[in-house]
Amino acid sequence: MFDEKPEYKSTYNEGMFQIQRLNNLYLEAQSFCNKGDFKNYNIRLDHIYSELCADVNKSKKANEYKIDYLRISTDYLKNKDNKAKAYLCLKEKENLLRNIQDDVGKGTRRQKDFESGMT
């Protein structure tokens, strides 16, 4: 009788909050990028990866994503003193993160993927 634990279900949609956190991190990342502060730009991109990490681990492309992310991160560290190369590495990292976000269902929703009901 007392051994049974009640089953709790959240009344909040965590996915919506995660998308909001991701948006805020992208805004911060872009602000640092625009200022040329690549160190903090990179840190914000790492925070974005952390937000997506649980979804990445469940993805069919998990190994591919992890290898690409590690390669780009290593390239950035090798080139962080060269502003032009560092910028290109970080833009590649951001593009990878945006693709991951789309692939795990936390990004762009394309018209072909749903019926809008609009004509």
The pLDDT tens digits for 37-94 are 999 999 999 999 999 998 899 989 999 999 999 999 999 999 999 999 999 999 999 9
Q: Residue 80, Cβ neighbours under 10 Å: how many?
A: 15
Q: Which of 41, 40, 65, 44 is nearest to 53 (CA)?
A: 65
Q: How sure is the predictor about 5, in pLDDT bands with cuts at 50, 70 and 90?
A: low
Task: Write out pLDDT tens, residues 14-41.
Answer: 778 888 999 999 999 999 999 999 999 9
Q: Residue 56, Cβ neighbours under 10 Å: how many?
A: 21
Give pLDDT, residue 3: 66
Report the pLDDT averaged over residues 100-114.
73
DSSP SS3 for 10: coil
Q: Which residue carries 């290109």 as its tokens? A: 88
Report domain extents, the chain.
14-104
Helices then strands, each counted (H, E), the chain:
4, 0
